[in-house]
Amino acid sequence: MGPIQRLRKDLFANPLDGLVSVLLLSGLAVAGYRLLHWALTQARWAVIQANSTLLAVGRYPIEQQWRLWLLVALVAAASGLSWGVLRGLPVRDRPKTTLWPSNDRLAAILLVFLASWTPALLGLTLAIQARWWTLTALVLLMRWLAGRYAGRFAKPAALAMPLLWPLLYLLGMVLIGGGLGLVTVGANEWGGLLLTLVEASFAILLSFPLGVLLALGRRSSLPMLRWGSIVYIEFIRGAPLITLLFLGQNILGFLLPGGLAPDRVWRAAWILTFFSAAYLAEAVRSGLAAVPRGQLEAARSLGLSLPQALGRVVLPQALRVALPATVGQFISLLQDTTLLSLIGLLDLLGTARSVMANPLYLGKSAEVYLTLAVLFWCCCAALGLGSRALERRLSPPSLSR
């Protein structure tokens, strides 16, 4: 079936379908045209161009920003590497895919396309534009190298891959915050997208193990453990996040003697973690419930200890079932970080509100909010894409298409 026939079948199968399609399409076209018209002729994007650094990293000291560039370069290299290994490494019981499937080619073209004009559009200096081009080239180069040679180094690659990102994360925190010979940059000076990503990634990484433990605790036969988990989960789920954040900011200062309370930024990060863990626990519990009881009993009767049976038999199946709900929780956690602007932290939204208060850019809120929407969409889309790739890889061969 050609594209024309397909279109005809999907959109114009009968008169009513045709009418609805025409109405919807023309509505979309008008809205799209007006948005573009506004963005290209009426909007004044100087507010974004002049404040791009502020929106990206907040008040991070300029002389230390090379550390963030280094981190971005490392992340770019690691992404390219993981992407290539994911494609190049054969999976057991799975037909070997081509090295450059059409999706990947499309993604690479899109990446090059974006890198070719976005930095110029943002009004960055030529030196900074060149950095973004180099970063794009780095991603693609690592993707190509890893895809080509992953098969040859299959064993070490399979061992090193799971370690790559946690190590990079630790290194990233050192690069951002300082220590090990680097000048300390206090959390008070982080801001913009940097702070949003630090808070979200910290909460995501820590809330996951916490959530798994809570889910296991809730199904445990030990009453103390079970009731402790239930009380914790229900308490946290019974309070809105913003309430908990306000509690953290306002009460902790009184509870702990001066100086002992963690910095405001870390206080918020911990509260996000504890909040997210309660929801994750329920997502994981739904996964656990989907694993038949016989699996655990079979594993135990084979002589596995309880931790072994849970870790090797039950959890892998449960987490696979819970993956979509888990990623959904992560995405909403990323968006929940915007609440930090209400407690006075300069996350992406907080920085944006600060920018809009600059008398030079008063009344430019539409431009700023649209930019935020695009940025958040990119981050969430990346999370969603990653999770679907992981889902496909984890699903047992019999269930895959």
Partner 1 sequence: MPFLRKLLPKRSLTSTLGLALLLVSCAADGGGGGLQSQKIDLIKGRAKLICGVDGKLPGFSFVGSDGAYSGLDVDVCKAVAASLLGDPAKVDYRDLNSSERFAALASGEVDLLSRNTTETLSRDAAGGNGLSFAPTTFYDGQGVMAAAGSGVKSLKDLAGKPICVESGTTTELNLADRMREIKATYTPLKFQTGDQTYAAYLQGRCLAVTSDRSQLAAKRTSFPDPAAHLLLEEVLSKEPLTPATTNADPVWSDAVRWSVYALMQAEELGITKANVAAKLAQAKANPNLADLRRFLGVEGDFGKTLGLPADFVVKEIAAVGNYGEIFDRNVGPGSKLKLDRGLNRQWSKGGLIYSPPFR
Q: Which residues bind partner 1 (CB under 8 A)?
A: 50-51, 53-54, 58-60, 62, 188, 246, 249-250, 253-254, 258, 264, 342-346, 350-351, 353-360, 362-364
Hey, is 243 helix, strand or coil? helix
- CA–CA gap between residue 57 and residue 175 (Å, rounded): 13
For partner 1, give the closer residue by CB, 97 or 243.
Answer: 243
Q: Could you tell me if 132 and 115 are in contact, meaning their C-beta atoms sit under 8 angstroms apart?
A: yes
Q: What type of residue is 389?
A: A
For partner 1, give the closer residue by CB, 58 or 88.
Answer: 58
Min CB(342)–partner 1 separation in Å = 6
For partner 1, give the closer residue by CB, 99 or 261.
Answer: 261
Burial 155-187 (b: 16+ CB within 10 A, else e): eebeeebeeeeeebeeebeebbeeeeeeeebeb
Min CB(391)–partner 1 separation in Å = 40
Q: What type of residue is 201?
A: S
- Taking each continuous run of H as one helix and of E as one strand, the counts in the chain are 17, 0
State the CB neighbour count (10 A cutoff) for residue 314.
Answer: 20
- CA–CA gap between residue 101 and residue 203 (Å, rounded): 34
For partner 1, give the closer residue by CB, 196 or 354.
Answer: 354
* Bridge partners, 192 (sequence order): 347
Q: Cβ neighbours of residue 123 under 8 Å, at least 6 residues apart? A: 46, 49, 50, 52
Min CB(245)–partner 1 separation in Å = 10
Min CB(270)–partner 1 separation in Å = 16
For partner 1, give the closer residue by CB, 54 or 372.
Answer: 54
Q: Cβ neighbours of residue 1 under 8 Å, at least 6 residues apart? A: 9
Min CB(15)–partner 1 separation in Å = 42
For partner 1, give the closer residue by CB, 198 or 299.
Answer: 198
Min CB(347)–partner 1 separation in Å = 11
Min CB(358)–partner 1 separation in Å = 5
Min CB(39)–partner 1 separation in Å = 19
From residue 176, give the alpha-carbon distance in Å to each of 134, 183, 229, 373, 383.
21, 10, 34, 25, 22
- CA–CA gap between residue 216 and residue 315 (Å, rounded): 10
For partner 1, give the closer residue by CB, 314 or 343.
Answer: 343
From residue 102, give the alpha-carbon distance in Å to each of 216, 327, 364.
41, 25, 40
Min CB(196)–partner 1 separation in Å = 15
For partner 1, give the closer residue by CB, 49 or 308.
Answer: 49
For partner 1, give the closer residue by CB, 131 or 353.
Answer: 353
